[in-house]
């Protein structure tokens, strides 16, 4: 019998059930293609979908508003967001197994260098993406910044009153500023803060290359008074619930906390560690060059100001500065006044040293 109607119906039903789950849909299409039940190229192309992976939370809620829906209207291509987090390991596994389900990943420029040098990323197509629409130096061969964020010193005003912590030296000073601290469970930001706490000037040329032993020894000093957060949501909850009285957390989380009704949480930009986020395109991404059309669309200064309004991300396009309203300037890491008191993270140093130093860091904070 050659009646394949049931089989076709089963395939259509399976595809329908994964319509709103882009990762599972891509995986299903790959399996069906391998079985010869669908054509890998045209079938994927006909879906006209682009999958963007970010880190969930507010990004999963607001990036579709700022970037996804406008691109859909402009291109007719459906943009789907996956909040599963584009970690190094996940991207590497997808590329090595030739089962790539993401088209664009929301990471940072250090990750772009780390993954790109190992062959896991597509080079940025500069015929589609405009270097002139990003701050000088905030791009590399495999990544281009779409916003900036900072690690900032965040504190409980009720706990410290008129004498809040203002520097990382204050953060490390548990005698004059008692209370539980919270630091990231990763080296980016934490090592820079430790060095400034130990007396290194808040100057890029003084911080880099990082003196690893000195920074790790300083982390060890404060370990007993510190909770090491694993996610932005966790850091936010630690501060909101009063489990930590001060923390090094992402400024986007600090902005949300400060905006809450009756909030007791504030933060300072002083000695913040400024980090250019970066769009990355995994090697062999299903949507091909369309990924770079999406990235180009996110360079719109108006859309970047909208993301600043929604979740506090600093615009990467310098043309956006003139569009930022006065009430958003205090929340903007790329405002001239705020940038002047921060240091810019060295993406090259972190790309070269992340894997090795991270292992030492974990031993310190868990040992």
**Mean pLDDT of all residues belonging to the chain:** 90
Same domain for 131 and 255: no
Same domain for 201 and 123: no
Residue 331 lies in a domain: no
Same domain for 188 and 111: no
Confidence tier at 2 by pLDDT (50, 70, 90): very low
Same domain for 295 and 223: no
Our count of domains for the chain comes to 2
pTM of the shown model = 0.82
Residue by residue, DSSP assigns 40-87 as HHHHHHHH-EEEEE--STHHHHHHIIIIIHHHHHHH--EEEEE-S---
Same domain for 160 and 140: no
Looking at residue 44, its pLDDT comes to 39
Looking at residue 56, its pLDDT comes to 86
Confidence tier at 137 by pLDDT (50, 70, 90): confident
Q: How far apart are CA 266 and CA 286, in angstroms?
A: 43
**Residue 154, strand partner residues:** 247, 267
Same domain for 204 and 166: yes
3-state secondary structure of 241: coil
pLDDT one-digit tens code per residue, 158-206: 999 999 999 999 999 999 999 999 999 999 999 999 999 999 999 999 9
pLDDT of residue 229 exceeding 50: yes
Q: How far apart are CA 242 and CA 268, in angstroms?
A: 18
pLDDT of residue 317 exceeding 50: yes
**Which residues form the domain of 49?**
5-147+277-323
Looking at residue 350, its pLDDT comes to 95
3-state secondary structure of 332: coil
Vertex 275 angle, CA 222 and 91, to 5°: 95
Q: Which of 321, 40, 198 is nearest to 190 (CA)?
A: 198
pLDDT one-digit tens code per residue, 272-309: 999 999 999 999 999 999 999 999 999 999 999 999 99
User: What average pLDDT score do residues 337-344 get?
Assistant: 97
User: What average pLDDT score do residues 81-86 get?
Assistant: 94
Residue 313 lies in a domain: yes
- 10 Cβ contact list (under 8 Å, min separation 6): none
**Residue 50, strand partner residues:** 79
Looking at residue 302, its pLDDT comes to 97
Same domain for 344 and 204: yes
Of the two residues 280 and 28, the one the predictor is more confident about is: 280
pLDDT one-digit tens code per residue, 30-49: 555 555 544 444 333 444 89
Percent of the residues in the chain that have a pLDDT greater than 70, as a whole number: 87
Same domain for 115 and 35: yes
What count of Cα atoms within 13 Å lies in the side-chain half-sphere of residue 120? 24
Confidence tier at 29 by pLDDT (50, 70, 90): low
Looking at residue 280, its pLDDT comes to 98
Contact 251, 333 (CB under 8 A): yes
Percent of the residues in the chain that have a pLDDT greater than 90, as a whole number: 82
Same domain for 162 and 94: no
CATH at residue 51:
3.40.190.10
Contact 167, 196 (CB under 8 A): yes
Residue 330 lies in a domain: no
pLDDT of residue 7 exceeding 80: no
Peptide linkage before 343 cis (omega within 30 of 0): no
Same domain for 224 and 83: no
Looking at residue 154, its pLDDT comes to 98
Looking at residue 367, its pLDDT comes to 86
Residue 34 lies in a domain: yes
Looking at residue 47, its pLDDT comes to 42
Residue 329 lies in a domain: no
* CA diameter of the chain: 83
Same domain for 236 and 212: yes
Same domain for 201 and 130: no
Residue 328 lies in a domain: no
Contact 23, 80 (CB under 8 A): no
Strands 49-53 and 104-108: parallel
3-state secondary structure of 307: helix
pLDDT of residue 101 exceeding 90: yes
């Amino acid at each position: 019998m050659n009646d394949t109607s049931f089989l076709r119906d089963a395939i259509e039903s399976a595809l329908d059930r994964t319509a709103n789950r882009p990762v599972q849909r891509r995986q299903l299409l790959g399996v069906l293609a391998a079985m010869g039940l669908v054509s890998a190229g045209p079938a994927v192309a006909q879906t006209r979908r682009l999958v963007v992976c970010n880190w969930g939370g507010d990004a999963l809620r607001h990036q579709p508003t700022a970037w996804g829906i406008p691109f859909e209207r402009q291109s007719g291509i459906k943009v789907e967001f996956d909040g599963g987090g584009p970690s190094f390991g996940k991207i590497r596994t997808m590329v090595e197994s030739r089962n790539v389900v993401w088209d664009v990943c929301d990471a940072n420029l250090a990750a772009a260098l780390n993954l790109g040098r190992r062959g896991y990323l597509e080079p940025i197509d500069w015929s589609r993406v405009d270097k002139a629409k990003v701050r000088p130096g905030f791009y590399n061969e495999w990544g281009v910044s779409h916003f900036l964020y900072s690690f900032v010193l965040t504190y409980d005003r009720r706990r410290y009153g008129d004498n809040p912590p203002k520097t990382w030296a204050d953060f490390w000073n548990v005698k004059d500023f008692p209370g539980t601290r919270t630091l990231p469970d990763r080296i980016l930001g934490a090592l820079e803060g430790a060095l400034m706490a130990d007396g290194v000037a808040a100057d890029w040329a003084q911080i880099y290359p990082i003196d690893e032993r000195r920074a790790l020894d300083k982390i060890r000093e404060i370990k007993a008074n510190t909770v090491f957060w694993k996610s932005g949501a966790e850091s936010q909850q630690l501060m909101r619930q009063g489990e930590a009285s001060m923390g090094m957390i992402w400024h986007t989380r600090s902005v949300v906390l400060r905006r809450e009704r009756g909030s007791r949480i504030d933060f300072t930009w002083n000695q913040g560690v400024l980090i250019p986020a970066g769009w990355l395109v995994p090697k062999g991404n299903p949507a091909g060059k369309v990924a770079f059309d999406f990235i180009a669309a996110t360079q719109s200064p108006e859309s970047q100001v909208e993301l600043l309004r929604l979740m506090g991300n600093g615009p990467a396009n310098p043309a956006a500065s003139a569009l930022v309203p006065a009430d958003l300037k205090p929340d903007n890491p790329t405002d001239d006044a705020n940038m002047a008191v921060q240091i810019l993270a060295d993406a090259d140093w972190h790309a070269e040293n992340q894997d090795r130093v991270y292992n030492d860091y974990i031993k310190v904070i868990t040992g």
